[in-house]
């Protein structure tokens, strides 16, 4: 069974129930299948408020494909360049927060981010702010990300 063809057809079947005009492109990077949906006026319908619909679509496809293949399939669903714009937006937010943490020398909690968004923020902090750290606390909907100054390690002499 050709995974790429199956993923594309399952995506198209699901989208037909939601919108009329779209195009689906598929690529694979390592073990992750990138599903790119291109649509003009109907992008907001597929993305949803704060990306809720795109995340739900991705989750539904993962479940359908798991049932088809009998194994988990890693997907990243993108609509028009939503994910790239989302990363830019998150990086802008994190820059401001990181500067605040550095200036005030205290941790700052961030709420209401999805696991995907928290992952992007963790990676951005790690890559760009060696003097800061980030970690998540809490469970489920109450999970929040904390950006904090790194604690200085005391060396024993």
pLDDT tens-digit map of 138-157: 887 788 999 999 886 555 55
Give residue 146's pLDDT: 94
CB 72 within 8 A of CB 66: yes
Determine the Cα–Cα distance for residues 37 and 23; give it in Å rounded to an integer: 6
CATH T-level topology, domain 3-80: GMP Synthetase; Chain A, domain 3 (3.30.300)
Give residue 154's pLDDT: 52
**Per CATH, is 85-149 categorized as 1.10.10.10?**
no
DSSP count for the chain of H helices, then E strands: 5, 6
Give residue 11's pLDDT: 96
- Cβ neighbours around 66 below 10 Å, total: 12
Determine the Cα–Cα distance for residues 149 and 132; give it in Å rounded to an integer: 4
pLDDT tens-digit map of 10-62: 999 999 999 999 999 999 998 899 999 999 889 999 999 888 899 899 999 99
Q: Does the predicted TM-score (pTM) go above 0.75?
A: no
| CA angle in degrees (0–180, nearest 5) for 22-64-113 | 75
- Cβ neighbours around 97 below 10 Å, total: 20
Stretch 127-146: mean pLDDT: 90
Domain boundaries, the chain: 3-80, 85-149
Give residue 59's pLDDT: 94
Determine the Cα–Cα distance for residues 48 and 60; give it in Å rounded to an integer: 15
E strands of the chain, at which residues?
23-29, 32-38, 74-79, 108-110, 132-137, 144-149
Considering only residues 114 and 73, tell me which one the structure prediction assigns the higher pLDDT: 73
pLDDT tens-digit map of 50-99: 888 998 999 999 999 999 999 999 999 999 999 899 999 999 999 999 99
Give residue 156's pLDDT: 55
Give residue 155's pLDDT: 54
Stretch 86-114: mean pLDDT: 92
Q: What are phi and psi of 125, to 5 degrees?
A: -60, -50
């Amino acid at each position: 069974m050709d995974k790429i063809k199956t993923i594309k057809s399952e995506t198209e079947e699901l989208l037909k129930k939601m919108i009329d005009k779209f195009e689906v492109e598929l690529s694979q990077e390592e073990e992750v299948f990138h599903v790119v949906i291109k649509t003009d006026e109907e992008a907001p319908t597929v993305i949803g408020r704060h990306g809720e619909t795109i995340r739900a679509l991705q989750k539904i496809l993962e479940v359908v494909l798991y049932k088809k293949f009998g194994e988990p399939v890693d997907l990243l669903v993108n609509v028009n360049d939503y994910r790239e714009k989302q990363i830019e937006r998150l990086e802008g937010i994190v820059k401001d927060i990181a500067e605040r943490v550095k200036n005030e020398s205290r941790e700052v909690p961030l709420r209401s981010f999805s696991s995907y968004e928290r992952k992007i923020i963790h990676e951005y902090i790690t890559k760009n702010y060696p003097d800061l750290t980030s970690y998540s606390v809490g469970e489920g909907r109450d999970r929040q990300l904390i950006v904090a100054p790194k604690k200085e390690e005391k060396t024993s002499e």
